[in-house]
Structure 1
Amino acid sequence: MTDSYDLVVIGAGSGGVRAARMAATYGAKVAIVEEYRVGGTCVIRGCVPKKLYVYASRFSELFDVASSFGWQVDASFDWPTLVANKEKEITRLEHAYTSNLEKPGVEVIKDRAVVTGPNTVHLHGQGRDLTAKYILIATGGTPFIPKIPGADLAITSNEAFDLPALPHSILIEGGGYIAVEFATIFAGLGVHTTIIYRGDCLLRGFDEDLRRGLEAGLTERGIKLIYQTTIKSLHKDGDDIAATFSDGVTAPYGAVMFATGRAPNSHGLGLEELGVKLTPTQAIAVDAYSQSSVPSIYAVGDVTGRSALTPVAIREGWYFAETVFNNKPMAVDHSLIPTAVFSEPELGVIGLNELEAATHGDIDVYLARFRPMINTLSTRTERMVLKLITEKDGGKVLGCHILGPGAGEMIQLVAIPMGMGASKADFDRAMALHPSAAEELVTFKAPSYTYRNGEKVGG
């Protein structure tokens, strides 16, 4: 049996769903193939459940400061309740995603797909072939697992949301988004948490002041940091897992988690056999319009290795549909993307960091550090950090970096004027909203320090 379509999408995550839905609204006959659950990593085992768990972990910190506002709190936490309520929410979202596909006429097929030709997709479970004028690969990414003895004893972000019980302690290897966010979650829920990382500070590539501020915040929350070290092997130690480190030390933990990055999910799709070009990281190489080296095959989202963020995948899927099915070529601009790390403290970032900006010419740096207002009645000493980087003399804003409560929400709004090419003078024209942390971004009077001819001046 062979069915013919204008478009077959492989992968029903955020990028694939948007592309399929938009293409169908333009009159295309579309099928989308998904072997697991509709919604992809973000909805099912990524951004959405992670943010829900971050919310859960923050209550313990709110309880800590509640007494300074006159509240006496006696609270307890139940892990199975959180897991069950999370499952209800992602099931609701899965149904909503499926409904949004079916309304414009997209056929949702639950199966594993392999590309067998430039215009042919084979369904493993059903044993039939689909033909399509275009094929879109939107299979996302998958957790990278180090090849070490005992690696199968560890969990990844895929399994962390549905553990049968919270461990008494956890060792998390990694230094990126996933590592610090899950460290925040587990520590906030009462688990003794350790991060082990091969580098000398977390969040490589972020602005240095935010990296060090995060480091201090995690330490204040009782999270242990082990730098310039890796896990060499794991083995069972009674009910625990013993980790042997690269420095020869062995220690037991209730659980071990790998947060060592994600790899493009391109393996086993039949792409190389068709001559689809892959990058050295096994991402699908595509042009500005998401077209691969085989003209009928396109790819969007994490599998392309461009920017592994859900809103980027959605935009790429949308623009693919505009380009191919609406005769309106559109290319995604990946140069100015806001991002947030939902750790405690939280980070929100857009644009160049200080060291990057200093290589682009003369710049001014505006920096503020202060205690968040919610902590001023307590003994907590943690500081927020807000940094604005501009071209010299009130010129174009090149970067904005925020550490502290609400950083993610703030950076989304900052992205709007920065996307319009706003200058420091444009920010200055905005009236401050008081009392708020964000008002610091429009009340900076003079640079904290500058860079002239590549050299730091002042500060």
Structure 2
Amino acid sequence: MSEFDYDLFVIGGGSGGVRAARVAAGECGASVGLAEMDRYGGTCVIRGCVPKKLMVFASEYGAMADEARAYGWDMTSGSFDWSAFHGHLTSELDRLEAVYRSLLKNSGVETFDARAEIVDPHTVKLSTGETRRAKHILIATGGRPVRPEMSNAHLGMVSDDIFHLEKLPKSLLIVGGGYIACEFAGIMNGLGVEVTQFYRGAQILRGFDEEARGLVAESMRDRGIDLHVGTNVLEMGRKGDASSGDGGPGSDAAMGMPAQERDHGAGVDEAGDGPIRVKSTHGHERDFDAVLFATGRVPNTADMGLAAVGVELGRNGQVVVNEYSQSSVPSIYAIGDVTDRVALTPVAIREGMAFVETVFKGNPTPVDHDLIPSAIFTQPEFGTVGLSEEAARDQEPVEIYCTSFRPMQSAFAGSDERVMMKLVVSKESRKVLGCHIVAPNAGEMIQLAGIAVKMGATKEDFDRTVAVHPTMSEEIVTMRNPVRTA
């Protein structure tokens, strides 16, 4: 009789963990167990990519009537019904969770609706009291949003909470300048919410191409988002409540609320208890119906027993792994956001597949994190792959090919909104080092451009490609002369 109950035990039922579990079981014949403490599908399906993108779609319909009238359609703008949309959204997420459960069951994976803690290199203890032993353990617990360390932070929501709102606020302050903050600013603005955004840095979307993020910021302001950079929250509290100062009776400290508990859901329950008064670092005070903190995420590694069994953790609490996703304990691996490498769903899935190749197919496969295309679903979208102009010019001499213009569809309707196409090209090798697109459906475009960049296409390869006319994307292959060198 084997000393192990399973060949593999996966902790976490998100996209990466589910893919690894069902491929190991279905294709490799491994005996696999999986524990998920919340909902199957994880952040992406339940509280991230999928519901967010559906909200993006919903938020874009409001402006369509105005554009349609310019094309001769007799259309009027209606009002948005959050409750009707939210009910449909909830049903869709329930359907997708059922799909994930079915995929696991049909692959022969035994599932546990329970929290798992690692007690030794081969043993997990479930919150139901059971213990299971496995030859290999895969941690795929993802990450979670956190609130900043400040008094009364519990009054604000985090991104998970947005999907549970019973009604939309009339006014919303979003704190943060990353892609989550900017995406929700566009969504809520499109749904009719008065949106203000604070970001402490000099420009939103830090780390992305400077010219592209500048255009995104300009477009956000043009669409009515009150965006303030170089600005942060100094104080916040319920209007007229003594809790608005440090250590007041309504503050986190006064309530004795542990930091970990403050990170989940408090903002939803209190969203209807009156306006939140916010004082900014510039000294201005204003009331908002709700505040959303989009100021960072941390890996879900707390209280899992990892340090006790010798698993090395990084400064952010992430599981430190090698190129094969193996931790400092040889039998324990980790993939996805819990490793704090590249926090994207397709990357977690790729890491899960590479893990199966390495451990169960005898084909050691390092994870390739180079030249990953991605899209930020701002309005307009921002698609990017490869190096920004700033990163590229620090590496080697480059040529910059860039164009910005009013696209045909919206220009005909009288819109001044502009789009941008940009290529960053190595002077020496002529390879396209980066491609950046700010435009409607940029995510769709960058997926295809990403293939060319990943293959090492040169600027001349782009030039030899015949343009598809009339499209926005044809500009990618018709820019003949660089606008600057660096």
Provide the TM-score with structure 1 as the length reference.
0.96
The answer for the alignment partner of 1:108 in structure 2 is 111
The alpha-carbon deviation at position 245 of structure 1 amounts to: 2.1
Q: Is the 8 A contact 2:4 2:135 kept in 1?
A: no
The answer for the alignment partner of 1:247 in structure 2 is 282
Q: SS state of the match for residue 276, structure 1?
A: coil
Alpha-carbon distance in 2 for matches of 1:290, 1:333: 11
Alpha-carbon distance in 1 for matches of 2:63, 2:412: 14
Alpha-carbon distance in 2 for matches of 1:410, 1:394: 24
The alpha-carbon deviation at position 255 of structure 1 amounts to: 0.5
Q: Is the 8 A contact 2:237 2:277 kept in 1?
A: yes
Q: SS state of the match for residue 181, structure 2?
A: helix
The Cα offsets for residues 369-395 of structure 1, whole Å up to 9 and x where unpaired, read as: 111211122221111010011112781
**Of 265, 268, 277, which aligns to 2:312?**
277
For 1:80-95, what aligned pairs fall within 5 Å after superposition?
80-95=83-98
One-letter code aligned to 1:101: L
Q: Is the 8 A contact 1:183 1:223 kept in 2?
A: yes
The alpha-carbon deviation at position 3 of structure 1 amounts to: 7.4
Q: SS state of the match for residue 330, structure 1?
A: coil
One-letter code aligned to 2:43: T
The answer for the alignment partner of 1:216 in structure 2 is 218
Alpha-carbon distance in 1 for matches of 2:475, 2:24: 44
The answer for the alignment partner of 1:19 in structure 2 is 20
Q: Is the 8 A contact 1:372 1:405 kept in 2?
A: no
The answer for the alignment partner of 1:120 in structure 2 is 123
Q: SS state of the match for residue 359, structure 1?
A: helix
Q: SS state of the match for residue 416, structure 2?
A: coil
Q: Is the 8 A contact 1:3 1:129 kept in 2?
A: no
Does 2:338 match 1:303? yes
The answer for the alignment partner of 1:454 in structure 2 is none
For 1:302-341, what aligned pairs fall within 5 Å after superposition?
302-341=337-376
The answer for the alignment partner of 1:457 in structure 2 is none
Q: SS state of the match for residue 22, structure 2?
A: helix
Does 2:398 match 1:397? no
The alpha-carbon deviation at position 154 of structure 1 amounts to: 0.9
Alpha-carbon distance in 2 for matches of 1:297, 1:157: 30
The alpha-carbon deviation at position 248 of structure 1 amounts to: 3.0
Alpha-carbon distance in 1 for matches of 2:285, 2:126: 46
The alpha-carbon deviation at position 247 of structure 1 amounts to: 3.0
The alpha-carbon deviation at position 207 of structure 1 amounts to: 0.7
Does 2:268 match 1:267? no
Alpha-carbon distance in 1 for matches of 2:199, 2:370: 28
Q: Is the 8 A contact 1:149 1:232 kept in 2?
A: no
Equivalenced residue count is 449
The Cα offsets for residues 332-379 of structure 1, whole Å up to 9 and x where unpaired, read as: 111110010001011000000001111222211110111121112222
The alpha-carbon deviation at position 61 of structure 1 amounts to: 2.0
Q: CA 1:167/1:3 → structure 2, altered by over 3 Å: closer, same or farther?
A: farther
The alpha-carbon deviation at position 427 of structure 1 amounts to: 1.1
Q: Is the 8 A contact 2:311 2:329 kept in 1?
A: yes
Q: Is the 8 A contact 1:115 1:270 kept in 2?
A: yes
Alpha-carbon distance in 2 for matches of 1:354, 1:82: 40
One-letter code aligned to 1:213: L
Q: CA 1:20/1:380 → structure 2, altered by over 3 Å: closer, same or farther?
A: same
The Cα offsets for residues 112-149 of structure 1, whole Å up to 9 and x where unpaired, read as: 1111110010001x211011111110000100211211
Alpha-carbon distance in 1 for matches of 2:433, 2:66: 37
The alpha-carbon deviation at position 249 of structure 1 amounts to: 2.5
The answer for the alignment partner of 1:206 in structure 2 is 208
The answer for the alignment partner of 2:71 in structure 1 is 69
**Of 179, 182, 188, which aligns to 1:180?**
182
The alpha-carbon deviation at position 233 of structure 1 amounts to: 3.0
Gaps (5+ residues) in structure 2?
A: 240-272
The answer for the alignment partner of 1:456 in structure 2 is none
Alpha-carbon distance in 2 for matches of 1:266, 1:379: 51
The answer for the alignment partner of 1:455 in structure 2 is none
Alpha-carbon distance in 2 for matches of 1:234, 1:113: 37
One-letter code aligned to 1:257: L
Q: Which moved more, 1:438-447 or 1:234-243?
A: 234-243
Structure 1 residue ranges (4+ consecutive) displaced by more than 4 angstroms after TM superposition: none
The alpha-carbon deviation at position 90 of structure 1 amounts to: 1.3
The Cα offsets for residues 11-69 of structure 1, whole Å up to 9 and x where unpaired, read as: 00011011101111201110110011100000001000000000000011222322211
Q: Is the 8 A contact 1:286 1:293 kept in 2?
A: yes
Alpha-carbon distance in 2 for matches of 1:227, 1:427: 36
The answer for the alignment partner of 2:31 in structure 1 is 29
The alpha-carbon deviation at position 188 of structure 1 amounts to: 0.1
The alpha-carbon deviation at position 77 of structure 1 amounts to: 1.2
Q: Which moved more, 1:341-350 or 1:145-154?
A: 145-154
One-letter code aligned to 1:145: R
The answer for the alignment partner of 2:407 in structure 1 is 372
Q: Is the 8 A contact 1:156 1:259 kept in 2?
A: yes
The alpha-carbon deviation at position 180 of structure 1 amounts to: 0.5
The Cα offsets for residues 66-93 of structure 1, whole Å up to 9 and x where unpaired, read as: 2211123222210011111111111111
Q: Which moved more, 1:103-112 or 1:47-56?
A: 103-112
Q: SS state of the match for residue 395, structure 2?
A: coil
For 1:418-457, what aligned pairs fall within 5 Å after superposition?
418-451=453-486
The alpha-carbon deviation at position 205 of structure 1 amounts to: 0.8
Alpha-carbon distance in 2 for matches of 1:90, 1:287: 34
**Of 363, 368, 383, which aligns to 2:398?**
363
The answer for the alignment partner of 2:154 in structure 1 is 152
The answer for the alignment partner of 2:170 in structure 1 is 168
Q: SS state of the match for residue 303, structure 2?
A: coil
Alpha-carbon distance in 2 for matches of 1:394, 1:285: 35
Q: SS state of the match for residue 412, structure 2?
A: coil
Provide the TM-score with structure 2 as the length reference.
0.91
The answer for the alignment partner of 1:7 in structure 2 is 8
The Cα offsets for residues 282-324 of structure 1, whole Å up to 9 and x where unpaired, read as: 1110000000000010000000010000000000011101110
Alpha-carbon distance in 2 for matches of 1:353, 1:365: 10
Alpha-carbon distance in 1 for matches of 2:479, 2:216: 23
